[in-house]
Amino acid sequence: MNFSELTFIEPKLLWLLAVVPLLVFFKALEFSRRRKALAKFSELSLFLEQNAGQLGPKQAVFPRLLLYSLGLILLVLALARPGGYPKAEEEQVTEKGLDIMLVVDLSASMKATDLQPSRMQATKAALKDFVEGLSTDRVGLVVFAGSVSLQSPLTLDYRTAKMMMDIINTDFLPVDGTAIGDAINFSLDKIGKENQKNAVLVLVTDGENTRGSDPEQALKKAKEAGTKIYTIGIGTPGGAQIPDGTDEKGQPRVKLYNGAPVVTKLDEVFLKKAAEETGGVYYSTASSQALLQAYADISRLTKTTHTEKKKKMKYQEFYLWAALPALVLLILEFF
């Protein structure tokens, strides 16, 4: 076997190795107490003669403690389920949950720093916290600026969804702008007509639509489909300037329009309307707390059954290689 392929299926149980020294210490104390107790009620010479096999001289205690230590270590390794020869297998997974499509704004305004360290970074951190709270709900990720892209279809594979969240940024899409209407229409299409009635869109944006199809028409389409839209407003009403790299002297620049700095402000009007008309809720800050509250509200909705194929790694297990020697060592120590 190639030991580079060896892994532990339950690696969290390896923390039990930290308990082994403590158990060995208590075992040594037990040997010491037994020796003192027997010596107290018998002649020392008779005690050493009759119990040499059981307790032995002091130096005989060390081999027993060694057997005990090795036995415990191997037992913990067996519990952690060592395995190798990984093989990816697909299995049908049926869960009762919601279909949640995260629709995230990647326009240049997301560089603004009225949320720290920036709107974009605050949003990514909050989204990952949101996904951490999921269990049986399918989640997907659509990103948009002046164009729209599907980063992750609806899936139970939360690890992949979070990986997609790691790589998105404000330079991810080729066309700048904020096409909210296009993003809603695109997300509804990717959910599919058969799933739209019980689906949820979580729209994360500053609300400033600048291009693409009419958001009002997209909202009407979502309402007719029965899809609820939960909206998360990014930024502050006072707004902030948009960073635009550095100049030739290395000094930070801001985005300009007609020679004046562009200030991007949170536009709550459409976001509130989208939530109200579709049965969703509007949250005014893109923070982890806002998204977690959004999920708490969303989780109370009626869940449906969905089935999908999910890849799962299967391993050839070698726990017996550790469990059997552990049993032998602990038996030897006992006798």
Q: Count Cβ atoms below 10 Å from residue 111 Cβ, excluding itself.
A: 22
The amino acid that residue 181 corresponds to is G
The reply to whether 222 and 106 lie within a common domain is yes
Q: Identify the pLDDT of residue 40.
A: 64
Give the H or E element holding residue 97. strand 82-97
- Residue 283's SS3 state is strand
User: Which band of pLDDT confidence, cut at 50, 70 and 90, is reported for residue 201?
Assistant: very high
In a domain, 309, yes or no: no
Give the DSSP H/E element, type plus range, for residue 71. helix 58-79
pLDDT (tens digit, 9 = 90+) per residue, 275-316? 999 999 998 875 657 767 777 787 777 676 666 666 667 788
- State residue 212's pLDDT score: 92
CATH of the domain at 251: 3.40.50.410
Q: Which residue do the tokens 């707390």 mark?
A: 289
Tokens representing residue 332 in the block: 């030897």
**Collapsing DSSP states into helix, strand and coil, what is residue 144?**
strand
Residues 296 and 324 in one domain: no
Write out pLDDT tens, residues 230-281: 998 888 777 777 777 777 777 778 777 777 877 878 888 999 999 999 999 9
Residue 297 domain-assigned?
Answer: yes
Name the burial class of residue 102, with classes exposed (0-12), middle (13-18) and buried (19+) by CB atoms within 10 angstroms of its CB.
Answer: buried
Q: Indicate the pLDDT class of residue 42, thresholds 50, 70 and 90.
A: low
Residue given tokens 């149980």 in the structure block: 13
Q: List residues bridging with 310 in a β-sheet.
A: 91
Tell me the CB-side half-sphere exposure of residue 173, using CA atoms within 13 A: 23
Number of residues assigned to the chain: 335
pLDDT, residue 302, reads 63
pLDDT of 129 reads 84
Do 295 and 324 lie in one domain? The reply is no
More confident residue, 211 or 116: 211
Domain with 37 in it: 3-86+316-334
Number of folded domains that form the chain = 2
d(CA 98, CA 136): 8
Residues 54, 11, single domain; the answer is yes
The answer to whether residues 63 and 167 belong to one domain is: no
Task: Clarify whether residues 281 and 140 are in a common domain.
Answer: yes
Nearest-angstrom CA–CA distance, 292 and 209: 26
Higher pLDDT, 52 or 210: 210
Q: Would 307 be classed as within a structural domain?
A: no
DSSP 198: G
Query: Is there a single domain that holds both residue 123 and residue 220?
Result: yes
Do 20 and 109 belong together in one domain? no
Render pLDDT for 145-168 as a digit per residue (tens, 0 to 9): 999 999 999 988 898 899 999 999
Residue 310 included in any domain? no
Round to whole Å and give the CA distance between 135 and 158. 9
Tokens of 184: 């809603």
The pTM for the full model equals: 0.64
**Of 75, 109, 68, 325, nearest in space to 205 by CA:** 109
